[in-house]
């Protein structure tokens, strides 16, 4: 089922065109990433869909209804870019308050534990660090078990563990059929999470589709996804390349031309260890190239 349908969205602030003729759809169980520089129109687009702003032009349907409809509000979770909480509210109090707004909320304790907020459960919002504020904000977006989650630059200000947890939660939501709309200006996040990506530039959607389709192959390299983990140091030494771990059992080989001989040596090494190859792509780290070109 289609979660979000946007048609020709436009929004101007005085003389500035923030969003210009933007159309896309987001399906249930899909992670849709809006990518763009600061000021490209990501937040405005998301806020229109959330019902916080009226578009000057165009239409939005969220779960088949107008964005601000009460039935819609019961089924979405919003993590805004800014903090947006009472300075004096306590962490646990905030999660429990938001839980009380929904009919079948998630367990506040589960989220506090998952997002490493137990230590600061009695701290007021003004005393939380930047990363803690973001994690709390994510907990508040998820506590209502939303059918659509809007995460506006969720991992900005988060530390490594916070990012990993956030990505894990996003994958978990996708797995349970939640539509996730995520904005970022980091390509890394797109590569890790996006089923489809929309690239915004000066309010216009300049490209949109699965990251692999947007990719061209300019800077050749090998990306390999395996059925099990490997010892990257040994393999890197054997091949004479640099190996970067992208996420679980997925690696990127850089620093050597990916000619047939390199591919052959890689697969031979893997075969000797009985490691199953899920995907093997020889091509560009091209999304970045595409992105740099489109947003220049």
Partner 1 sequence: MIRRIAAQARLELALTLRRGESLLVTIGIPVGILVFFTLVDVLPHPGRAVDFLTPGVLALSVVSSAMTSLSISTGFERHAGVLRRLGTTPLGRTGLLAAKLAALAVVIAAQVAVVVGAALLLGWGPRGAAWIEAAVVLTLGTAAFAGLGFLLAGRLRAETNLAVSNALFLIFLLTGGIVVPLSRLPDGAAAIARLLPAEPLATALREAFASQGAGAGTFVTLAVWAIVTCGLAVRTFRWD
User: Tokens representing 258?
Assistant: 């990916």
Query: Binding residue for partner 1 (CB under 8 A) from 37, 102, 164, 232?
Result: 102
258 binds partner 1 (CB under 8 A): no
CA proximity to 182, closest of 173, 191, 164, 170: 170
Contacts of 200 (CB under 8 A, 6+ apart): 22, 34, 35, 36, 40, 41, 42, 45, 206
Q: Are 290 and 216 in contact (CB under 8 A)?
A: yes
238 binds partner 1 (CB under 8 A): no
* Interatomic CA distance for residues 171 and 74, integer angstroms: 22
82 binds partner 1 (CB under 8 A): yes
101 binds partner 1 (CB under 8 A): yes
Nearer to partner 1, 150 or 251 (CB): 150
256 binds partner 1 (CB under 8 A): no
97 binds partner 1 (CB under 8 A): yes
122 binds partner 1 (CB under 8 A): no
66 binds partner 1 (CB under 8 A): no
Q: Are 223 and 250 in contact (CB under 8 A)?
A: yes
CA proximity to 98, closest of 116, 120, 78: 78
Q: Are 102 and 144 in contact (CB under 8 A)?
A: yes
104 binds partner 1 (CB under 8 A): no
* Interatomic CA distance for residues 31 and 177, integer angstroms: 10
Nearer to partner 1, 121 or 252 (CB): 121
Query: Binding residue for partner 1 (CB under 8 A) from 10, 74, 164, 262?
Result: 74
State in angstroms the smallest separation of the CB of 264 from partner 1.
54
State in angstroms the smallest separation of the CB of 254 from partner 1.
41
156 binds partner 1 (CB under 8 A): no
98 binds partner 1 (CB under 8 A): yes
Q: How many residues bind partner 1 (CB under 8 A)?
A: 24
**Count of residues for the chain?**
296
70 binds partner 1 (CB under 8 A): yes
Interface segment toward partner 1; rule CB under 8 A; list 48-56, 58-66, 252-260, 288-296: 48-56
State in angstroms the smallest separation of the CB of 144 from partner 1.
7
Query: Binding residue for partner 1 (CB under 8 A) from 89, 239, 256, 280?
Result: 89
Interface segment toward partner 1; rule CB under 8 A; list 33-41, 83-91, 111-119, 195-203: 83-91
Nearer to partner 1, 72 or 235 (CB): 72
115 binds partner 1 (CB under 8 A): no
Binding site for partner 1 (CB under 8 A): 50-52, 70, 73-74, 76, 78, 80, 82-89, 93, 97-98, 100-102, 144
């Amino acid at each position: 089922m289609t979660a979000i349908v946007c048609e020709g969205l436009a929004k101007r602030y005085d003389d500035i065109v923030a969003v210009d003729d933007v159309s896309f759809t987001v399906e249930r169980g899909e992670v849709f990433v809006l990518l763009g520089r600061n000021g490209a129109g990501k937040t405005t687009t998301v806020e229109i869909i959330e019902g916080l702003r009226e578009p000057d032009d165009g239409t939005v349907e969220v779960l088949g209804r107008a964005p601000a409809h009460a039935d819609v509000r019961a089924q979405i979770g919003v993590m805004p870019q800014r903090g947006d909480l009472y300075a004096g509210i306590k962490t646990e109090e905030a999660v429990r308050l938001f839980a009380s707004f929904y009919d079948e909320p998630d367990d506040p304790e589960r989220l506090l534990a998952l997002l490493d907020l137990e230590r600061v459960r009695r701290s007021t919002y003004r005393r939380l660090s930047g990363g803690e504020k973001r994690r709390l904000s994510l907990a508040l977006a998820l506590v209502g078990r939303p059918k659509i989650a809007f995460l506006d630059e969720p991992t900005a200000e988060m530390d490594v563990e916070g990012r990993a947890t956030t990505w894990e939660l996003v994958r978990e939501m996708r797995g349970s059929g939640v539509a996730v709309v995520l904005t970022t200006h980091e390509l890394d996040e797109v590569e890790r999470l996006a089923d489809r990506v929309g690239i915004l530039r000066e309010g216009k959607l300049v490209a949109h589709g699965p990251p692999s389709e947007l990719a061209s192959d300019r800077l050749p390299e090998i990306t390999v996804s395996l059925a099990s983990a490997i010892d990257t140091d040994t393999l890197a030494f054997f091949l004479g390349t640099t190996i970067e771990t992208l996420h679980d059992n997925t690696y990127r080989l850089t620093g050597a031309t990916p000619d047939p001989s390199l591919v052959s040596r890689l697969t031979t090494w893997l075969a000797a260890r009985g490691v199953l190859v899920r995907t093997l792509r020889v091509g560009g780290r091209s999304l970045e190239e595409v992105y740099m070109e489109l947003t220049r």
